[in-house]
Amino acid sequence: MAVEGTVAPVPATRVRSDRLERIVGQGLALLLSMLIALGLGSILIVGFGENPAEVYSKIFKGSLGTADGLGYVFAIATPLIFSALAVAVCFKGGMFNIGVEGQYIVGMVTAAWAALSLDFLPAVLLVPAIMIAALLGGMAWAAIAGVLKVKTGAHEVVTTIMLNQIAISLLAWAINYPLKFKEAPPGQNVDLRTDLFPDEAFVGDIGQYFGVTPGAHLSWLLFVAIAAAIIVWFLLRRTRLGYEARAVGSSPGTARAGGISIGGTQLRLFLISGALAGMVGMQQLIADKGYLGAAYVTYLGFTGIAVAFLGQNNPIGIIFAAILWGILSRGEVALQIGSEVPREFVIILQGILILSVVITYQVAKRRLLARQLQRAGAAGALEDSAALDESPGPSGPEDAGAEAFAPSDRREG
């Protein structure tokens, strides 16, 4: 069964089939994990004394049954795509940016400032100017964590959590002092907020072309988000920076020996991540509300982590993951009407979904690796690749020497 002799010249069809297998395998894994999640969800629904089929059909009809529902789904997905991309970019470089939350909050402050102070610009210039201000705001906030990590070794998880808190205070200060409304809005007990942005600051609604109610606030930002995902995909897969990022992320020692600067790569990734995070707040600022107030939408940065996991940190996967997230979130609204199942059920379902995706993907990845090893023809590769070994990590028997000679390293691991 093992292949003797060289198999070096590889026909193009076989190369394609390897890639096809990877894609089909991942697709099947995703499908399977959704079925598992729905199955586990059914048990819960039965626990509430309801019929799973009915509850699920309510959720999916609520989000997919009408043009309006779909409009809401995509509007919910828009900021989540940016947020998940921001998480994924850092993740590929081996970092966990928990600070997307703070970065988009700062991005909203700088964007609001731009919208109010550049109000003399025509729409065609003002909208891009607001977005650039948001990008720069997010980038600046991310740069703090990035520089701290590269220069002092401070862990990004710790610094970004703290920076998130500071960002919240920064926003509160901004709407209390420099950006506070000059003319109080009509009505009593109004929240603290900025003045309304000029009409030119609004990004165009696209719901009208699909028969979606303006209330969904479906805007051109959706296409900006999809474009961002494609750009991030290109960046990671087709550019030097992406290549270096992935090398640093999966094997820093090898990357260093290959002449790659780890700190430089990570700092650049943090800046890109921050820029993407800056775009998260655009949907609510210039597609929806038209002002920045104390009652802004929170937790988009953290939800982005979940969506990134769901999309397996793949930029294209993230688009679909964000839409799926939108479907469930929108379905939550439908669930409130005429059902004993509490709306929190959707949140549980989202959680189960992430867990089952993460687990099924790992299983699928191992199986795929085992299949490739099998075809690599060397039974040997099997034993020393640790694919089927109980020990985690890519260490095989042959590594034992290297590891054991450095006992202190081994203990840390």
Residues within the interface to other proteins (CB under 8 A): 1-3, 6-10, 14-15, 18-19, 238-241, 243-244, 246-247, 250-259, 261, 367, 369-385, 387-388, 390-391, 394-407, 411
Q: Find the helix packing angle between 315-335 and 300-310, rounded to 10°.
A: 120
Q: Which helix (H) or strand (E) holds 111?
A: helix 100-117
Shortest spacing between CB 190 and other proteins, in angstroms: 49
> Which is nearer to other proteins, 295 or 388 (by Cβ)?
388
> Which is nearer to other proteins, 240 or 343 (by Cβ)?
240
> Which is nearer to other proteins, 51 or 250 (by Cβ)?
250
Shortest spacing between CB 365 and other proteins, in angstroms: 10
Cβ partners under 8 Å of residue 234, min gap 6: 242
Shortest spacing between CB 21 and other proteins, in angstroms: 10
Record the tokens describing residue 341, joined without a space.
Answer: 């199942």
> Which is nearer to other proteins, 39 or 397 (by Cβ)?
397
Q: CA 384, CA 399: separation in Å to the nearest integer?
A: 9
Shortest spacing between CB 265 and other proteins, in angstroms: 12
| Of the candidates 33, 97, 101, the residue with the CA atom closest to the CA atom of residue 353 | 33
> Which is nearer to other proteins, 24 or 64 (by Cβ)?
24
Shortest spacing between CB 362 and other proteins, in angstroms: 13
Shortest spacing between CB 247 and other proteins, in angstroms: 5
Q: CA 110, CA 125: separation in Å to the nearest integer?
A: 16
Residue appearing with tokens 């961002």: 228
Q: CA 62, CA 326: separation in Å to the nearest integer?
A: 11
> Which is nearer to other proteins, 183 or 398 (by Cβ)?
398
Cα angle at 92 between 371 and 283, to 5 degrees? Answer: 120
Record the tokens describing residue 244, joined without a space.
Answer: 């270096």
Shortest spacing between CB 142 and other proteins, in angstroms: 20
Shortest spacing between CB 270 and other proteins, in angstroms: 17
The 8-class DSSP code of residue 201 comes to: G
> Which is nearer to other proteins, 61 or 256 (by Cβ)?
256
List Cα–Cα distances, 305 to 19, 86, 345, 365, in angstroms: 27, 9, 20, 21
Residue 257: helix, strand or coil by DSSP? helix
> Which is nearer to other proteins, 257 or 337 (by Cβ)?
257
Shortest spacing between CB 227 and other proteins, in angstroms: 17
Q: CA 115, CA 96: separation in Å to the nearest integer?
A: 31
Q: CA 219, CA 100: separation in Å to the nearest integer?
A: 22
Record the tokens describing residue 119, joined without a space.
Answer: 């109000």
Distance of CA 311 to the CA centre of its chain: 7
Residue 219: helix, strand or coil by DSSP? strand
> Which is nearer to other proteins, 155 or 246 (by Cβ)?
246
